[in-house]
Copies of this chain bind each other. A is one copy, B any other.
């Protein structure tokens, strides 16, 4: 039913080849012929059949992005924003985006990657939240499928990445808290198998050491990046004696959970306890009190990763294949009591 090159060819009386080449803009088509073909194609409502083109060109102009959904719920603002950045940039380059979802760290996570790669559904993929010994990266390297990651990796191999300097970030925020007079500082780290958890821990320890403050090992904890996780971890921290006077959470979502825990403990956040996050999600400036956090431009990173990957696919060599951005400390009332 849909119009094909053959239909146009028959109508205008030229070969399929010529029609194809006219539409593709080759210069071995007479100007007048081209005009006729273009107009006819327009009139007949021609649009190329993409699967056919993909088959012939042996590429799909499609990117893959696999999202981990937490249980039945996925409302991680981090992933949403990244997705928006990737998606909007992909659209700008006329690329499509194939999204696969799956429960996190499930057996079918790799299955999702294999599906996309084996079926030649995508030309490249974007990976986020790189992990220690990341099997996704290992797989894609082994399969020689182009990809770009948000986050560094210790896996050997050459691939572009963008990352935010979590170590420097944690040095900043820890120093800030120390400057505010805090000595008993706790931290709720992201899951330890995530690469950025390591960097942030290192930054925290470095800043504490620098001020010759001891790191209470009981105050170094981990949370699963959800509100619940932050809440629970913070509760455990606040139940201790002595309790910390400041908590740094691995992301804003956990920080929001920590705020709730602190409030339940009867503490005034900002005054009796300081709480800081990481990300600067839109909600961060609207919590009560507004959240001190480290801003990372997630949306922009999504766009950038997408651009890098597409450049890679086009065979261009990247000027800066590895980008390390500095997070920006945004100080709000959750660590600095109102004047």
**Residues in A lying within 8 Å of B, measured CB to CB:** 2, 47-52, 54-55, 60, 62, 67, 69, 72-77, 79-81, 83-85, 87-88, 91, 96-103, 108, 112, 115-116, 118-121, 227, 231, 256-257, 260, 263, 281-283, 286, 288, 299
**Contacting residue for A74 out of B83, B91, B101, CB 8 A:** B83
Residues in B with CB closer than 8 Å to A118 are 47
Flag if B51 contacts A60 (CB, 8 Å): yes
With A96-B98, A227-B282: A74-B84 Cβ-Cβ less than 8 Å: yes
Contact partner, A283, options B227, B263, B288, Cβ 8 Å: B227
Q: A96 CA to B97 CA in the complex, in Å?
A: 11
A-B contact pairs, 23 of them (CB 8 A): A2-B120, A47-B118, A49-B55, A51-B51, A55-B55, A67-B87, A69-B88, A72-B84, A72-B299, A74-B84, A75-B77, A83-B99, A87-B101, A88-B101, A88-B102, A91-B100, A91-B112, A96-B121, A97-B100, A97-B101, A99-B99, A227-B283, A260-B286
In the bound complex, CA of A102 to CA of B75 (Å):
19
Distance in angstroms from A66 CB to nearest chain B CB is 10
A231: B residues at CB distance < 8 A: 286
Asked if A87 and B69 sit within 8 Å, CB to CB, the answer is: yes
Cα(A227)–Cα(B284), bound, Å: 11
- This chain: how many copies in the complex? 2
Complex: how many Å from CA A128 to CA B266? Answer: 42
Contact of A99 among B54, B55, B97 (CB under 8 A): B97
Known contacts A69-B88, A72-B84, A227-B286; 7 additional CB pairs below 8 A are: A2-B120, A51-B52, A52-B55, A75-B81, A83-B99, A91-B100, A98-B98
Q: How far is the CA of A99 from the CA of B88 in the complex (A)?
A: 10
Which B residues are in CB contact (< 8 Å) with A227? 282-283, 286
Residues from chain B with Cβ under 8 Å of A283 in the complex: 75, 227, 256
Q: Which chain B residues border A52 with CB–CB below 8 Å?
A: 51, 55
The answer to whether A50 touches B256, judged by C-beta atoms less than 8 angstroms apart, is: no
Check if B91 sits within 8 Å of A81, measured CB to CB: no
A251→B47 CA distance, assembly (Å)? 40
**A264 → chain B closest CB, angstroms:** 9
Q: Which residues of the other chain, B, contact A85 by a CB distance below 8 angstroms?
A: 72
Known contacts: A50-B119, A51-B51. The answer to whether A73 contacts B112 by CB under 8 A is no
In the complex, residue of chain B having the shortest beta-carbon distance to the beta carbon of A51: B54
Closest B residue, CB atoms, query A76: B80
Is A81 a contact partner of B88 (Cβ separation < 8 A)?
Answer: no
